[in-house]
Structure 1
Amino acid sequence: MAQTVSLSFFRFGPLSARLWALGMMGAARLSLPKIPDIGFWKLCGSGIGEGFTPVPNTAVYAILATWPDEATARDRIATHPLFHRYRRRAFEHWTVFLSTQSVRGQWSGQTPFKPAGLPPDRPRPGSMPDKPTDPAPEPGKGPVAALTRATIKPRILTRFWGRVPDISAMIGADPNVAFKIGIGEVPWLHQVTFSIWPDTATMAAFARTGPHAAAIRAVRDEGWFREELYARFAILSDTGTWNGSSPLERLRS
Structure 2
Amino acid sequence: MIQVATLSLFRFDGFARRFSAFAMMGLARWPLSRLCGLEFWKLCGSGTGEGFTPRPNTAVWAILCVWADEQSARNTLQTARPFSWYRANASEHWTVYLRPTSSRGAWSGRNPFHVEDPDPTGPLTAALTRATLKPRILLRFWRRVPDISQMIGVNSDVLMKVGLGEVPFFHQITFSIWPDTGSMAAFARNPGPHSEAVKAVREGNWFREELYARFDVINETGHWEGKHPVVLKEGQDNR
Does residue 2 in structure 1 map to residue 2 in structure 2?
Answer: yes
Deviation at 1:37, TM superposition (A): 1.0
Contact kept, 8 Å, 2:159 with 2:176, in 1: the verdict is: yes
The answer to whether 1:181 aligns with 2:181 is no
Say whether residues 1:51 and 2:51 are aligned partners: yes
Shift of residue 250 of structure 1?
9.3
1:162 matched to 2:143: yes
Q: Whole-Å Cα distance in 2 between the matches of residues 151 and 211 of structure 1?
A: 20
Counterpart secondary structure, 1:83: helix
Q: Partners in 2 of 1:62 and 1:37 — Cα distance?
A: 19
In structure 2, which of residues 204, 212, 216 is the aligned counterpart of residue 234 of structure 1? 216
Q: How many Å apart are 1:141 and its aligned residue?
A: 3.7
Distance 2:132 2:143 in 1: 16
What does residue 84 of structure 2 align with? 84
Q: CA-atom RMSD, angstroms?
A: 1.5
Contact 1:56 1:187 in 2 (8 A): yes
TM-score, length of structure 2 as denominator length: 0.94
User: 1:191 and 2:168 equivalent?
Assistant: no
What letter is aligned with 1:33? S
State how far apart, in whole Å, the 2-side matches of 1:177 and 1:65 are.
Answer: 23
- Name 1:212's counterpart in structure 2: 194
1:14 aligns with 14
CA contact (8 A) 1:140 1:199 kept: no
Alignment of 1:29-44 (within 5 A): 29-44=29-44
Counterparts of 1:47 and 1:24 in 2: how far apart (Å)?
18
Mapped partners of 2:147, 2:49: distance in 1: 14
- 1:171 match: 152
Please give the alpha-carbon distance, in whole angstroms, between the structure 2 residues aligned to 1:48 and 1:110: 29
TM-score (norm 1): 0.89
Task: Give the AA of the match of 2:37.
Answer: D
In 2: Cα distance, 1:140 partner to 1:67 partner = 20
Distance change (3 Å), C-alpha of 1:250 and 1:177: farther
Q: Deviations over 1:119-172 (max 9, x none)?
A: xxxxxxxxxxxxxxxxxx942741100000000011111110001111111111
Aligned partners of 1:6, 1:98: CA distance in 2, in Å?
6
The Cα shift of 1:51 comes to 1.4
- Note if contact 1:178-1:250 (Cα within 8 Å) is conserved in structure 2: no
Amino acid at match of 2:66: T
| Counterpart amino acid of residue 232 in structure 1 | R
Identity %: 57
Q: Which residue of 2 aligns with 1:70?
A: 70
Distance 1:10 1:141 in 2: 26
Aligned length in residues? 233
Is 2:52–2:163's contact at 8 Å kept on the other side of the alignment? yes
Letter in 1 for 2:230: L
